[in-house]
Amino acid sequence: MMRTVCAMGLATATLGMMGCQSPTSSSSSFNVDNFVDSTVIPNPTAAVGSTDGRTYRVVRGNNQPDDVLPFQFITTYDIVLTFNANSTNNSNNVKFPVTITSATAKVEQAASGIVTTPSSGDVEHYDSAIVSSTTNAIAQVGAGVEMVFKVWYALPNGGREALITETISMKDSSDTPQTFAKTVQVRVSP
């Protein structure tokens, strides 16, 4: 029994030390903001009442019927991404073309651009779509893509002001592709 405890202790200590190693060099950091520039048009964007019939479901549970409710607001905006000269330097070494693999939105209620966390149990409801995109592959340094997004949402506070975070995932054309994501914040005015 004592041998088992000692062996497990030694294994735990060894695994713990392996997790504490520092990076091999300071150049191993990969900061997308250093080589992908973004612009939001318009900034801030405005939302209007949603009248297109898009809905969301609120699950009630306890054998109660779910509620299907219309989204309160809709907003549309463009995001332009451009790869600058830093993308091909030694620390980043991005290989073109770069392919956009996905875009994901997260909507949070806000006040003056500051996220205001909903009360316990309340959540933001939202849906998003890419309406159009000039391309899904960026060919070279200086090139980019313009994407038009549409976001429907309903906030627990009933307000219009929100902060939308778009996470745009990409991969380059290396033999072992590097994957990275650009996060862009979009303010929705009250």
- Please name the residues in contact with 140: beta carbons below 8 A apart, sequence gap of 6 or more: 83, 96, 97
Which residue's entry shows tokens 């900034």? 43
pTM above 0.85, yes or no: no
**C-alpha 18 chain-centroid distance:** 31
- Cα separation, 186 vs 190, in Å, equals 13
CB 59 within 8 A of CB 32: no
- The closest alpha carbon to 36, from 153, 160, 182, belongs to 182
Please report the domains of the chain, with CATH numbers, ordered by start residue: 31-188 (2.60.40)
- Cα separation, 186 vs 79, in Å, equals 9
- Cα separation, 155 vs 143, in Å, equals 36
SS3 content of the chain, % helix, strand, coil (to 5): 15, 45, 40
- Please name the residues in contact with 185: beta carbons below 8 A apart, sequence gap of 6 or more: 163, 164, 165, 166
Residue 29 confidence (pLDDT): 58
Nearest-5° angle of CA 76, CA 108, CA 122? 130
**C-alpha 26 chain-centroid distance:** 26
CB 110 within 8 A of CB 161: yes
**How high is the mean pLDDT in each 10-residue block of the chain (190 residues)?**
43 40 42 96 97 94 92 98 94 94 97 91 95 97 97 97 98 95 97
CA-atom Rg of the chain in angstroms: 22
